[in-house]
Structure formats: C-alpha cells, structure tokens
A and B are shown apart, each in its own frame.
Chain A
C-alpha cells in the first residue's frame, strides 16, 4: 500500500511541474533579488557591487521613512476599520436580519469582485470638486458646507484611500466573520438569554469571546493584505499630493522603473517583506498565547 502511495515516479510527475515553475519564477528571483540589494544599477547599464550602501541610503532617506509611515498608518487604520465594520455587519446579519440577511450579504459583498482601477476612477469622480461637482461635494453643498478638494491635501487624500478600500472590503470581512458567528451554538446563546443577557451585554460577554479566533485570523489576513497596498493608491491618488500617500510598494515601483535603480528598489522590496513577516509573526504569537489561555 505505502509503496503505491509513495511511488517516486508518480510524485515527480504530479509535483514536478508546479515545483519547477514555482522555483524558477518565485524562489530563484527572491534569492536573486537579495543579490540586487548589494548592487547598484539596472540590466541595461549593468551592475556594480556597492556593499551595504543601499541599506545605509534606506535608513537615511526621508522619502523611505515617509513611505514606511504611510504604509503603517494605512495598514493599521484600515485593518482596524475593516475588521470592526465587518464585525458590525456580521452581527447585523446574524442577530437582526436573520432570514433576510442572504440578499444583503450578497449585495454588500459585491464590490470585492470589481477591478480596483475601475473603482478608483469612480471614486475620483464621486469626490470631485472641480470642474464638476461630484455627488459627495454636492451633498455637502446642500447642507451649506463648501466643496472640499479631497485630493488636494494629504489628510483628505489619506481618508479617501481608506474610505475606498473600506467600501471595497467591508462586505468581504462581514462574510468571513459571519461564518465564525453562525458557528456559535444556539443553545449557548439561548441559555445566556435566559440568564438575562441581551443586546450589547450578550455580544460582549458571549459572542465576542467565542468569535475571538476568527477575529484574530481576520486581523492577520487584513494586515498582510493592507501592508501590500498598491492598486488603490496608484489608481486613486498616484501617491499624491506630493508623495503624501506613497506606500513602500509604490516607492519601490517608482525607484525601480521610473529612476531605473534596481539595487535600491530591491532593498525597499526586502524591507517590505521583512515588515510583512514581522507583523504576521507578531500577531500569530499573540494569537497563540490567547488561544492557550482561553
């Protein structure tokens, strides 16, 4: 039996193609990219060994720090909002809408499947101030508030980016967390209700602790995705105004392809990878501790 299940030729035929493509196009380039971090140049003009100059540049580069700052601020704010709003919606689905929730769930989920570029162009028009007044500014005007140039100031741009990604992703996190909430046994909720726990008290003392695992895994998925934000920013603000909304991903892209500096670009990419790793390990560790406690 084990002979058939462990046949070397079968393993090679089934696993070979995937492993080959994956190695050549993911693993080799990752190592290759590490090599670039100690070089200067690009494939057209050639490369020169420069040691750890790129890392020294990175840590003394104000634009790099600004990019790290934006990436962290964006990732943390959006992660908290995504999971919080998603959780609110999931509670709404499970405890208030009940039978009607299927249709609402499906409708709130749909922006996830839309191309980011299309949504970004639409949001540019929705929040436009001039030459035409977009719906959002028109709504403000009707309350007697002057139009806001949403893409003109760093703060407003930041919140538009957040708002757009929240619009796209809240339905997704709602469904993800909903799946965790419906797994809570009804007998448990019923007995808590008989003990007099209702509304907020029921949520806080029964539902929240029981859905902690799915909440924490949502946090991991969210932070891992938001640290890599690229499409939204490129299409909505292109990093502007100035470079106020430029995350590490976009800074890496500009450094490499606009300025042709592959060495420094690889260094920025490596820093981004390390950042993702740190956050995953950090959240994973705190999750593990909490789970063993509970």
Chain B
C-alpha cells in the first residue's frame, strides 16, 4: 500500500520536473508570487498545529503571577521544574501513570493474543458459520460503549472486582477485540492459502501452522494493530471514568480531568505541566513511529 503510494508520488514528481526548464527560470519572480498564497496557507496551517504545543510547553515553566500579569506570548522568566514537581507530588501523577500502564498493557496483551488467533480461525480455517461469527464481531465496532456500561458495573460490583483494575482490563480487552479481529482477518486474507496448505502437507498441525507460519507472516500487522489499540486504550476516558471508583485507581486521563478541580482556583503552571506530562508519552511514540501510526489508525478508521 505505502509502496505503491510512494511510487505514484514519485511519478507525479517526475512529471513536474520534466517540464522545460528555461521558461521556468525566466518566470522566477512571477512564480514566487504565484506560490505566495500556497505558502501562506502552509504557514497558517503549521502555526495552528504547532503553536498550541509550544505554548503549552512554555506555560509549564511559568509561575502563577506570570500567567496573571503578563501577556500570553511572554517567555517564562526561569526554566524551573517546580510545576512538574507539583504535578507528581500534590497531583499524584506517578500513581496515575502506573495505573494506566497496569490497565493498558495487560489488556493489550490479551487483545492481541485472542484477536490474532480469532482472526486466523475466522479467515484461514474453513468451517460452517465463520461468516456469521465474523459479522457478530463486526457488530461490536458499531455498538456504543454506553450500551454495556451499566450491566458491567453490576457484574463487577457483584463479583467483587470493583476496587481493582480488573474491570478496566476486562472491559478494554472486550472492546478492543472486534476491531482487532476484523483487522487481523483482513491481514490474513492477503496471505496466500497455499502457504498454510503446504505447511499441513509437511505434517504440521493447524495449530503449529498458525504459530510458526501464520504469526511470523503477520508480525508487522500485529505491531500496527497493537499500536492502534494502544492509542485507543491509553486515551480512553469513558471506561476509565466509569470503573475507577476511588482516586487511587485513576488512570492518567481521569487524573488529568480532575486535576484543575483540586485547588478551587485554576493553578495555571501546574495545569500546563500536567497537560505536558500526559501528552508526552503518545507524542514521543508518534515522533518515532509516525508512519506506522498513520497507516494503522487510518486502517482502523472503521471505528469512527
């Protein structure tokens, strides 16, 4: 997919370059002005996208009086980390980050393990009823989470799971499965069936074929799906807000939502530092893996 995209891109590009050079140079000045609106659009676009981040980062170093008495574009007078210290001590963000990690990564593990196996069973294996079962999973993508929250709350309450992170892990796993199964089935569809048939002819059982032939073939796909699910779960607010019944169970999103309310009046510096802390993880991930993230998230766009 991306390979064909790139080559097309290159073609478009070479077409542009191969136009005669001489007249182009003579029109240099006119060209510059003709391209001015485009440059202006790009400049505005970049400011809109990047400035809020810069403003956030600068704000996280400012003191309360700098916020109240100086214009928004003033630089912080010192680069002190007091606001960040405040976020981790009074704000208890260390605990929230640990909670998020403890809820998201086990869920991610289960989603990938169960989802990839189910995708294989639904796409490669041949049996009656696999079409309807795939549809059953697909239906889960569309149903809003609000539909399952109340019964789940009752179930977790009755089984005594309330008060731990298990409600989050279980709910995340179930909610992540439909998209994972769907995407993995799509990826397995691109693998020629002959490969699996050859594996069984060589005497491997189907389980063995899944483990040592199927899995390595879709390794990149698993990584992509995992990345997509990570963003969905890490940024989730609805489930976390519903099942974190005590403040010691808050994930980073719920903690951030409650952060400003903690002092009455808005503490600007600490708020900005808290935003910066919560943005840091996903932003770093995007910095290094942006191409995979873009590919994965758009492939998972059925989720809306």
Interface residues of A (CB under 8 A from B): 1-2, 4-8, 10-11, 13-15, 17-19, 21-22, 24-30, 32-33, 36, 43, 92, 94, 96-99, 104-118, 121-123, 125-126, 131-135, 138, 167, 171-172, 175-176, 179, 182-183, 186, 190, 218, 220-228, 230-231, 234-235, 249, 252-253, 256-257, 262, 265-266, 268-270, 272-273, 276-277, 280
Contacts of B264 in A (CB 8 A): none
Complex Cα–Cα for A177 and B180 (A): 22
Given A14-B121, A36-B150; A273-B114 close (CB under 8 Å): no
B117-129: CB near A (< 8 Å → 1, else 0) gives 1101110111100
Question: Are the CB atoms of A14 and B13 closer together than 8 Å?
Answer: no
B40 at the interface (CB under 8 A from A): no
Question: Are the CB atoms of B118 and A19 closer together than 8 Å?
Answer: yes
Contacts of A108 in B (CB 8 A): 45, 49
What is the CB-to-nearest-CB distance from B245 to chain A, in angstroms, rounded to a whole number? 10
Q: How many chain-B residues does the 8 Å CB contact rule pick out?
A: 110
Best-buried of B9, B137, B170, B301 by chain A (most CB within 10 Å): B301
Besides A6-B126, A110-B286, 6 more A-B contacts (Cβ < 8 Å) are A1-B197, A11-B127, A25-B148, A115-B235, A134-B72, A138-B71
Question: Are the CB atoms of B294 and A115 closer together than 8 Å?
Answer: no
Question: Are the CB atoms of B117 and A14 closer together than 8 Å?
Answer: yes
Contacts of B207 in A (CB 8 A): 10, 13-14
Question: Contact partner of A252 among B146, B197, B253, CB < 8 A?
Answer: B146
What is the CB-to-nearest-CB distance from B276 to chain A, in angstroms, rounded to a whole number? 8
Contacts of A265 in B (CB 8 A): 150
Complex Cα–Cα for A123 and B302 (A): 27
Contacts of B12 in A (CB 8 A): 94, 98, 186
B191 at the interface (CB under 8 A from A): no
Question: Contact partner of B9 among A26, A98, A220, A235, CB < 8 A?
Answer: A98
Question: Are the CB atoms of A176 and B206 closer together than 8 Å?
Answer: no
Among the 9-residue stretches B24-32, B79-87, B152-160, the one with 4 or more Cβ atoms under 8 Å from chain A is: B152-160
B144 at the interface (CB under 8 A from A): yes
Interface residues of B (CB under 8 A from A): 1, 5, 8-9, 11-13, 15-16, 38, 41-42, 45-46, 48-52, 55-56, 59, 67-68, 71-73, 110, 113-115, 117-118, 120-122, 124-127, 133, 136-137, 140, 142-155, 157-158, 170-171, 173-175, 177-178, 181, 196-197, 200-201, 205-207, 210, 231, 234-235, 237-238, 241-242, 252-253, 256-257, 259-260, 268, 271-272, 274-275, 278-279, 282-283, 285-286, 290-291, 293-294, 297-298, 301-304
Complex Cα–Cα for A271 and B135 (A): 22
Given A25-B174, A256-B149, A266-B150; A15-B133 close (CB under 8 Å): yes
What is the CB-to-nearest-CB distance from B63 to chain A, in angstroms, rounded to a whole number? 13
What is the CB-to-nearest-CB distance from A148 to chain B, in angstroms, rounded to a whole number? 15
Complex Cα–Cα for A218 and B283 (A): 25
